[in-house]
Amino acid sequence: MRIVPLLALILGASVLGAALPGGGVVAAAVAPQTVAVPPITACSAINKRKIIITRTSIGIQGAVTTKNWRTSQWAAAVLDPMYRLSSSYRPTNLVRITWRGVISTKGGYWLKREAADALSAMFVEAKASNISLKILSAYRSYATQRAIFAKWVAKSGLQLARKYSAVPGHSEHQLGTTVDLGSLTGVSWSSPKFPTSQTALWLEANAYKFGFVRSYPAGSANVALSCYGAEAWHWRYVGKDLAYEIVCSAQVPRIFLWNRQNGGERVIGPACDSFTPPEGYVLPSPSPTPPASEVPTESPSASPTESPTASPTETPVTPP
Ligand SMILES: [Zn+2]
């Protein structure tokens, strides 16, 4: 653990994270407080870890189960190539939703109720601005993610697969709160033009108002901090207050959530003037330093324990 004088970082408010000599990255923050934030492992170091594939399991060496994923804190759970969900984790309150964002028993996608309600409202608002959104992917079970990853490995090899697809257990889609969104009428999500399309720009400007944040922003600095390539289509529901705080912080969600889990949650960043706070939002006061026991510990190896089940039949034609 390392004590980080956050006040000192005000001067570097435009910097997303500060590199440590050991290769770790400490989340930069703007708040008049001193908080002990353990360094988050750098993506460059995580991505050098071996992927261990056995006949019945697949995992990243040294991966650990993320904190709080089983509780109401699912919104803040850090998921990256280091932190994972249990292979048996299935979110509660999953509801069906159509690709047009209508909650219906006829829907082909599943989302956690909170995320589905917010997404449905966002689709309506987008429509009013002449933006026709469509769902490309939503909740994905561990088994589905395993099939998607296996397909990428077969197609492109292990090294490319881990770049474009989450190893099962590490996907935010398993939370049931994350969607891949495209346009019903405009540029396809897979086009290089999608990030600058009307749809993507509308999402960048408005998704936070509905509680969604973009997990993997563009730019090499952001990619180095989020551990995945830029994905303009991948949006995670975290709730309105948290989404507002994340966009305000100008940090990538992975860094913000890490900071929050370790006592830096009351961070109001330098970009707040550009965003509208949710109705009734109250500026939080600084929170105390968390006890040392909350610092996550690493287990020596990945050990997905799910026993082999029937092969999933879904064809992974959706974005990673
Ligand atoms: Zn996605």
The full set of domain ranges for the chain reads 1-39+254-292, 43-238
Is a pLDDT exceeding 80 seen at residue 315? Answer: no
Q: Are 74 and 175 in contact (CB under 8 A)?
A: yes
CB hemisphere CA count around 23 (13 angstroms): 8
Centroid of ligand 1 to alpha carbon of 59 (angstroms): 19
In this prediction, residue 320 carries a pLDDT of 61
Chain-centroid distance of CA 264 in Å reads 18
Centroid of ligand 1 to alpha carbon of 109 (angstroms): 13
Centroid of ligand 1 to alpha carbon of 101 (angstroms): 16
Centroid of ligand 1 to alpha carbon of 134 (angstroms): 13
Beta bridge partners of 52: 59
Centroid of ligand 1 to alpha carbon of 118 (angstroms): 17
- Strands 178-183 and 234-237, by their bridges, are antiparallel
Q: Which residue in the block uniquely carries the two structure tokens 């105390």?
A: 288
Centroid of ligand 1 to alpha carbon of 216 (angstroms): 9
Tokens of 223: 């990619």
In this prediction, residue 13 carries a pLDDT of 35
On whether the pTM is more than 0.75, the answer is yes
In this prediction, residue 46 carries a pLDDT of 92
SS3 248: helix
CB hemisphere CA count around 64 (13 angstroms): 14
Average pLDDT for residues 183-204, to the nearest whole number? 96
Ion ligand 1 neighbours, Cβ < 5 Å:
180, 234
43-238: CATH topology: Muramoyl-pentapeptide Carboxypeptidase; domain 2 (3.30.1380)
In this prediction, residue 24 carries a pLDDT of 44
What's the burial of 69, exposed, middle or buried (CB within 10 Å: 0-12/13-18/19+)? buried
In this prediction, residue 260 carries a pLDDT of 84
For residue 181, report the phi and psi dihedrals to the nearest 5 degrees: -120, 140
Q: Which of 147-156, 159-168, 207-216 has the lowest mean pLDDT?
A: 159-168
Centroid of ligand 1 to alpha carbon of 260 (angstroms): 23
Centroid of ligand 1 to alpha carbon of 165 (angstroms): 9
Q: Which residue in the block uniquely carries the two structure tokens 């449905």?
A: 120
Centroid of ligand 1 to alpha carbon of 7 (angstroms): 35
Centroid of ligand 1 to alpha carbon of 203 (angstroms): 14
Centroid of ligand 1 to alpha carbon of 163 (angstroms): 13
Which contiguous run of DSSP H or E holds residue 141?
none
Centroid of ligand 1 to alpha carbon of 231 (angstroms): 8
Closest alpha carbon to 37 in 299, 297, 290: 290
Beta bridge partners of 94: 112
In this prediction, residue 161 carries a pLDDT of 87
In this prediction, residue 164 carries a pLDDT of 78
Centroid of ligand 1 to alpha carbon of 236 (angstroms): 8
Centroid of ligand 1 to alpha carbon of 285 (angstroms): 33
Name the band, by pLDDT with cuts 50, 70 and 90, for residue 267: low
Q: Quick: pLDDT tens for 224-264.
A: 999 998 999 999 999 999 999 999 989 999 999 998 888 76
Is a pLDDT exceeding 70 seen at residue 143? Answer: yes
Centroid of ligand 1 to alpha carbon of 76 (angstroms): 17
Q: Are 170 and 146 in contact (CB under 8 A)?
A: no
Name the band, by pLDDT with cuts 50, 70 and 90, for residue 108: very high
Q: What is the overall mean pLDDT for the chain?
A: 81
In this prediction, residue 159 carries a pLDDT of 85
Q: Are 161 and 195 in contact (CB under 8 A)?
A: no
Tokens of 65: 């189960």
Is a pLDDT exceeding 50 seen at residue 303? Answer: no
